[in-house]
Amino acid sequence: MSSLSPAESTATSVPNAHVLRERFRLPAEFASAPTTIEPGTQPPQGFFTLQSGHIAFGSTTSDTSAVAQHAPSVLPRTIDEPLTYDPDEVVRLLREESYIDNELPDRNGHDAQALVRRAYYFVRPLLSTKVRRIAQRRALAGWRDIAHPMWPVDTTVEAVHREALAASMAAAGVNKAPIVWYWPDGYHGAISMTHDVEEAAGLAFCPEMARLDESFGFKSSFQVVPESRYDIDALVLDEIRSHGCEISLHGLSHDGNLFSSYEEFTKRLPKIQEYARRFGAVGFRSPVMYRNPEWIAELGLSYDMSMPNVGHLDPQHGGCCTVFPYFLGDVVELPTTCTQDYTLFNILNRFDLELWNEQLDIIAAENGLANFIIHPDYVLDGDGLNAYKSLLAELDQRASQNNLWKAPPKELAEWWNLRSNLELKSAGPGTGDWTIVGPGAERASVAWAVLDGDSITIEAPER
């Protein structure tokens, strides 16, 4: 195989360039993953197993009798064979959680769980924290038996990208292809710290939390609830901003009903957008991470953080199965890839860093985004505050040792938008040299995808 130019592909297949162009910014001549799915056909959808062992979901031309929900089939293939699925479709279905029935409402329907949720929020103020914890643990019983997404971090989307890239390079007859590296300035990964502010006590603690974050080099985001929960003091917001932090929105009123119906969502959307203008906010996270990916695309904001990587321990199960940003319409989705503090402290009853470190290791292996939610309300003092200080120290050390970007969400979204328009340009036939062109190119780096047999490696740039 050559590393300079693509060869003719003899596979009778359908090219699917979008996911490769989106993730890797590959030159068009390298971005054609051959599949056996013919145009205009729709093979049965189901769960299946990638060569990496990850469980994916989508249409496949393999033996569909073996593709049963939560009983994945193995699709044996060699690197020279076309894929038996459409990587564009699989990535989209995973990111949008189309593989699972979350009883999400459609535009003409209503959420089947809305009545239960309204009842819970009605009595919530009367329930002690202990009672809420017991109820939540019972509601989440059996979460360890959920096979998909993969706990504690699911990287199925990354596995699909690698498999499609390997198939594309094999079909093109090359063993080395240029890509635009994921992160600016040669960083090998990214860490983002975010804070959802639940109650008045948490809001009062935010300036101190911003100072703490700043002492470890983090410019974090604070998601505030505009209505009902507490009065928002402009001086408190100014003090948060004075430490380099940003203000984002945490729903509208935190009553659990924003996504209960499309009618309710569109009714509240103008007020959300007005508060965003008032606070200078460009980001959003839905309370309790209730969500509908289709509607998130209509927020009209720069970024959203309502999608979990894996949602086994959230009231709404699912997960987007990726550790990288992606687009929902024009909105940059920054998935929450690490377990929330509330879940760790109150559901798993742990204050150590073991789970977070395990997740950080998995994300680092993908050069992905470690995106945290730490609520000011749950780290006011005691074990929670000590755990958070230990986490910050750990993240600071990892960032220094592993060349990780301490990335504010706003800057993450800005970079992902810039990167989506960057292009690789050859220095000339036979040279093997490539340059990056487009706004922001001065911060971008050329990296290389290397195909060795049936395995593919992405070589990170030196910094």
The CATH number that applies at residue 189 is 3.20.20.370
**Number of domains comprising the chain:** 3
Residue 4 within a domain? no
Give the pLDDT score at 101: 65
Mean pLDDT of 116-135: 55
Instruction: Please indicate, yes or no, whether residues 325 and 401 belong to a single structural domain of this protein.
Output: yes
Structure tokens at 165: 């890239």
Whose CA is closest to 287, among 252, 260, 318, 317?
Answer: 252
Instruction: Please indicate, yes or no, whether residues 213 and 95 belong to a single structural domain of this protein.
Output: no
Question: Which residue has 């502010």 as its token pair?
Answer: 197
Residue count (the chain): 463
Mean pLDDT of 92-108: 71
**Under 8 Å between Cβ of 175 and 166:** no
Question: Which residue has 């989705």 as its token pair?
Answer: 333
Residue 221, pLDDT above cutoff 60: yes
Alpha helices by DSSP H, 173-226 = 200-215
Give the pLDDT score at 10: 38
What is the tens place of the pLDDT at every residue in 60-97?
886 544 444 444 455 556 667 788 899 999 999 999 99
Alpha carbon distance 30, 423 (integer Å): 13
Question: Which residue has 């742990």 as its token pair?
Answer: 350
Residue 243 within a domain? yes
What is the tens place of the pLDDT at every residue in 21-43?
999 999 888 888 888 888 888 88
Instruction: Please indicate, yes or no, whether residues 53 and 167 belong to a single structural domain of this protein.
Output: yes
**Under 8 Å between Cβ of 203 and 229:** no
Instruction: Please indicate, yes or no, whether residues 70 and 129 belong to a single structural domain of this protein.
Output: no
Instruction: Please indicate, yes or no, whether residues 137 and 174 belong to a single structural domain of this protein.
Output: no
Give the pLDDT score at 103: 40
Mean pLDDT of 263-278: 98
Residue 109 within a domain? no
Mean pLDDT of the chain: 87
Residue 12 within a domain? no
Give the pLDDT score at 48: 86
- Percent of the chain, pLDDT > 90? 69
Mean pLDDT of 140-169: 89
Whose CA is closest to 233, among 196, 204, 209, 271?
Answer: 204
DSSP-derived pairing of the beta strands 331-333 and 326-328: antiparallel
Residue 110, pLDDT above cutoff 60: no
Which of 7-16, 193-202, 386-395, 441-450 has the lowest average pLDDT?
7-16
Alpha carbon distance 29, 11 (integer Å): 15
Instruction: Please indicate, yes or no, whether residues 78 and 200 belong to a single structural domain of this protein.
Output: no
Instruction: Please indicate, yes or no, whether residues 300 and 389 belong to a single structural domain of this protein.
Output: yes
Instruction: Please indicate, yes or no, whether residues 198 and 325 belong to a single structural domain of this protein.
Output: yes
Which of 1-15, 257-271, 286-300, 406-420 has the lowest average pLDDT?
1-15
| pLDDT higher at 112 or 276 | 276
Residue 329 within a domain? yes
Alpha carbon distance 304, 325 (integer Å): 10
Binning the chain into helix, strand and coil, the percentages to the nearest 5 are 40, 20, 45
DSSP 8-state assignment for residue 190:
E
Peptide bond into 152 cis (omega under 30): yes
Whose CA is closest to 301, among 394, 410, 226?
Answer: 410
Instruction: Please indicate, yes or no, whether residues 163 and 263 belong to a single structural domain of this protein.
Output: no
Give the pLDDT score at 104: 39
Instruction: Please indicate, yes or no, whether residues 268 and 312 belong to a single structural domain of this protein.
Output: yes
Question: Which residue has 């096979």 as its token pair?
Answer: 147
Give the pLDDT score at 1: 52
Instruction: Please indicate, yes or no, whether residues 275 and 154 belong to a single structural domain of this protein.
Output: no
Mean pLDDT of 141-155: 86
Burial class (CB in 10 A: 0-12, 13-18, 19+), 186: middle
Give the pLDDT score at 460: 92
Residue 202 within a domain? yes
Structure tokens at 463: 């910094």
Residues 6+ apart with CB under 8 A from 452: 175
DSSP 8-state assignment for residue 110:
B
Residue 5, pLDDT above cutoff 90: no
Give the pLDDT score at 109: 44
pLDDT-based confidence at 397, cuts 50/70/90?
very high
Give the pLDDT score at 337: 98
Question: Which residue has 């499609």 as its token pair?
Answer: 164
Residue 197, pLDDT above cutoff 60: yes
Alpha carbon distance 259, 276 (integer Å): 18
What is the tens place of the pLDDT at every residue in 306-322?
999 999 999 899 999 99
CA distances from 87 to 56, 70, 148, 279, 367 (A): 10, 20, 18, 40, 21
Give the pLDDT score at 34: 84
Instruction: Tell me which amino acid residue 201 is.
Output: A
Residue 3, pLDDT above cutoff 70: no
Residue 196 within a domain? yes
**Under 8 Å between Cβ of 121 and 256:** yes
Residue 13 within a domain? no
Alpha carbon distance 395, 277 (integer Å): 32
Range of the domain at 153: 18-99+148-180+425-459
Mean pLDDT of 129-153: 72
Instruction: Please indicate, yes or no, whether residues 55 and 174 belong to a single structural domain of this protein.
Output: yes
What is the tens place of the pLDDT at every residue in 404-445?
999 999 999 999 999 999 999 998 776 778 999 999 999 999
Please give the sequence-ordered ranges of beta strands (E in DSSP) within 85-228, or none if there are none.
176-180, 189-196, 221-224
Alpha carbon distance 445, 168 (integer Å): 22
